[in-house]
Amino acid sequence: MDSDRIKGNWKQIKGRIKQEWGQLTDDDLTEAEGHRDYLIGKVQEKYGIAKDEAREQVEAFERKL
Protein backbone atom coordinates (compact mmCIF):
# COMPACT_ATOMS: atom_id res chain seq x y z
CA MET A 1 0.00 0.00 0.00
CA ASP A 2 1.49 3.34 -0.97
CA SER A 3 2.00 6.17 1.50
CA ASP A 4 -0.89 8.28 0.13
CA ARG A 5 -3.36 5.47 0.81
CA ILE A 6 -1.87 4.92 4.25
CA LYS A 7 -2.36 8.59 5.08
CA GLY A 8 -5.92 8.48 3.78
CA ASN A 9 -6.83 5.38 5.81
CA TRP A 10 -4.80 6.25 8.90
CA LYS A 11 -7.56 5.69 11.47
CA GLN A 12 -8.23 2.19 10.16
CA ILE A 13 -4.57 1.32 9.84
CA LYS A 14 -3.77 2.67 13.31
CA GLY A 15 -5.53 -0.27 14.98
CA ARG A 16 -3.61 -2.76 12.88
CA ILE A 17 -0.34 -1.03 13.75
CA LYS A 18 -1.17 -1.37 17.46
CA GLN A 19 -1.78 -5.08 16.92
CA GLU A 20 1.58 -5.45 15.18
CA TRP A 21 3.61 -3.30 17.59
CA GLY A 22 1.78 -3.26 20.92
CA GLN A 23 4.43 -1.15 22.64
CA LEU A 24 3.53 1.88 20.53
CA THR A 25 1.27 4.29 22.38
CA ASP A 26 -1.67 6.28 21.07
CA ASP A 27 0.53 9.36 21.35
CA ASP A 28 3.20 7.68 19.20
CA LEU A 29 0.62 6.91 16.55
CA THR A 30 -0.90 10.38 16.71
CA GLU A 31 2.56 11.84 16.10
CA ALA A 32 3.24 9.37 13.29
CA GLU A 33 -0.08 10.19 11.56
CA GLY A 34 0.94 8.53 8.32
CA HIS A 35 4.60 9.60 8.43
CA ARG A 36 6.45 6.43 7.62
CA ASP A 37 9.90 7.57 8.79
CA TYR A 38 8.54 8.58 12.19
CA LEU A 39 6.85 5.19 12.53
CA ILE A 40 10.09 3.43 11.62
CA GLY A 41 11.93 5.49 14.23
CA LYS A 42 9.39 4.66 16.92
CA VAL A 43 9.50 0.93 16.13
CA GLN A 44 13.28 1.11 16.31
CA GLU A 45 13.21 2.98 19.63
CA LYS A 46 10.51 0.92 21.38
CA TYR A 47 11.88 -2.47 20.33
CA GLY A 48 15.60 -1.69 20.51
CA ILE A 49 16.35 -2.83 16.98
CA ALA A 50 18.48 -1.45 14.18
CA LYS A 51 16.94 1.12 11.85
CA ASP A 52 17.26 -1.25 8.89
CA GLU A 53 15.37 -3.97 10.78
CA ALA A 54 12.64 -1.50 11.78
CA ARG A 55 12.35 -0.36 8.15
CA GLU A 56 12.06 -4.00 6.99
CA GLN A 57 9.32 -4.66 9.55
CA VAL A 58 7.34 -1.60 8.49
CA GLU A 59 7.75 -2.50 4.80
CA ALA A 60 6.56 -6.05 5.51
CA PHE A 61 3.57 -4.60 7.38
CA GLU A 62 2.75 -2.35 4.43
CA ARG A 63 2.84 -5.30 2.06
CA LYS A 64 0.35 -7.14 4.28
CA LEU A 65 -2.09 -4.24 4.00
What is the domain count for the chain?
Answer: 1
With a CB cutoff of 8 Å and minimum separation 6, the contacts of 59 are none
**Global pTM value:** 0.83
Res. 1 pLDDT band, cuts 50 70 90: low
Q: CATH no. for residue 15?
A: 1.10.1470.10
Residue range of the domain that includes 33: 3-64
Query: Which tens digit of pLDDT belongs to each residue from 3-60?
Result: 677 667 888 888 899 999 999 999 999 998 878 899 999 999 999 999 999 999 999 9
SS3 25: coil
Chain centroid to Cα 65, Å, comes to 12
